[in-house]
Amino acid sequence: MKELSYDAVVIGGGAAGMAAALELEAAGRRVAVVEREERLGGILGQCVHNGFGLIEFDEELTGPEFAERFEDRLSARPIEAFLGCTVLELEVEGEAKVVSCVSRERGVMRLRAQAVVLAMGCRERNRGNIRIPGSRPAGVYTAGLAQRLVNVEGYVPGKDVAIIGSGDIGLIMARRMSWIGCNVHAVVEIMPYPSGLTRNIVQCLRDFDIPLYLSHLTTDIYGRDRVEGIEIAPIENGALVMEKAFKIPCDTVLLSVGLVPENELSRKAGVSINPMTNGPWVDSFLMTSVPGVFACGNVLHVHDLVDYVVEESRRAGRFAAEWLAGRRPSRELRVKAGANVRYVAPGRIEPGRDNKLYLRSMIVKNDAVLEVKLDGKPIRSVKKGHVQPSEMITIALGAADLVALAAQPDSTLEISIQ
């Protein structure tokens, strides 16, 4: 078994992994990236629509174009990328971390490092996760799988389409399927508000006159060998009204019912998981409960924009480099989600430096106010024209905002939405 040594190993070669690896290498560290696909870029390779890079590059790019820019940077640096390589296990041996992986070309390898960055991204929830009743005919796909079939493999999964869930991938696929000549009959959403970005509701549904059924539950997927249709019923005042149920004929069903951080490897390595995000608990260094193991991007919490993934992952790479150099947080404040906030990441901040926090609203509201309190005392207030669960909120807290807190032991920062 071949064993190689590095300062740091990054697991995942998507936008998060590449951004973290570049920061580590820029700090003078010897870095390896392990990616299970045959090329870098992750999910970006199948996202042929535009809308990427408005923050990162100040221009609108497709997913492959965005990924290519980072691939070019990576290839210009002495960063070793193991492609077509699947990680089997992450073990902690004393202060070292050992990544066991296998590839067709190299066989089984052990990559030994002092630091590991988790950047495995996320996966789609499927029919089993949401327990839709009915038969099990052919023609039921996750939206991401359908996206790969159409954009990468060149297959059309069906002609008459219904989409369950209004997540961004499903909305984008509603438009994509319309472009290739399919009939998209409906997008069905159980919540009273869409799960995707507002711009996707406008550009992918309204511009194509695709009906969006909010507050509707899919009660049946029917068909013997192939999907023949779905049955949906409205939810009124919190109750399912079956007498108003109706059927939508279709031969294909796409599921866009949420994403889950890919953390099976993390759990086996002993990393503590936050049940609100299904990603690791991390401190102000974006370090998990296992010293020397860091997390960033969609494996930490599901982002709405890849630009934010890159921003966060750069910080993870810098923090990992600082940790390797022997730096540790001087002091940390605990951060918790307050009223109308689902979660805040990271779970701790360091008062003596600039911090960036990411959070999700639990409500849809215009003219909202983001309130930051320390031990119940307001220290910051930010007005937001509109908040909704599908759009991530970021807030920067600089050292100047927190300098007066240095003498306060065991303080808690709370962020709420009013």
On whether both 142 and 210 belong to a single domain, the answer is yes
Under 8 Å CB-to-CB from 103, ≥6 apart: which residues? Answer: 82, 83, 84, 85, 86, 109
On whether both 311 and 373 belong to a single domain, the answer is no
As a whole number of angstroms, the distance between CA 296 and CA 300 comes to: 5
**Could you tell me what percent of the chain has a pLDDT over 70?**
98
Reported as a pLDDT band with limits 50, 70 and 90, residue 131 is: confident
Residue after which a domain boundary falls, among 298, 328, 358: 328
pLDDT of residue 404: 59
pLDDT of residue 98: 97
pLDDT at 405 over 90: no
As a whole number of angstroms, the distance between CA 277 and CA 284 comes to: 17
Which pTM value belongs to this model? 0.94
On whether both 81 and 132 belong to a single domain, the answer is no
* Domain assignment of residue 376, given as a range: 331-418
pLDDT tens readout for residues 331-357: 888 999 999 999 999 999 988 888 999
Residue after which a domain boundary falls, among 295, 312, 328: 328
CATH code (residue 402):
2.60.40
Residue after which a domain boundary falls, among 307, 328, 349: 328
pLDDT of residue 408: 64
pLDDT tens readout for residues 52-85: 999 999 999 999 999 999 999 999 999 999 999 9
On whether both 63 and 120 belong to a single domain, the answer is yes
On whether both 252 and 369 belong to a single domain, the answer is no
Query: Looking at this protein, which amino acid is placed at residue 134?
Result: G
Provide the domain count of the chain.
Answer: 3
Q: Are 90 and 268 in contact (CB under 8 A)?
A: yes
CATH code (residue 21):
3.50.50.60
Query: Measuring CA to CA, how many Å separate 41 from each of 104, 119, 332, 339?
Result: 20, 12, 34, 37
The predicted model gives 308-320 an average pLDDT of: 97
pLDDT tens readout for residues 172-203: 999 999 999 999 999 999 999 999 988 999 99
On whether both 272 and 310 belong to a single domain, the answer is yes
The predicted model gives 207-220 an average pLDDT of: 96
As a whole number of angstroms, the distance between CA 250 and CA 226 comes to: 10
On whether both 145 and 215 belong to a single domain, the answer is yes
pLDDT of residue 406: 52
On whether both 132 and 252 belong to a single domain, the answer is yes
- Which runs of consecutive H residues, i.e. helices, occur in 138-282? 143-148, 168-179, 198-200, 264-268
On whether both 336 and 268 belong to a single domain, the answer is no
On whether both 219 and 271 belong to a single domain, the answer is no
On whether both 131 and 245 belong to a single domain, the answer is yes
Reported as a pLDDT band with limits 50, 70 and 90, residue 294 is: very high
On whether both 238 and 262 belong to a single domain, the answer is no
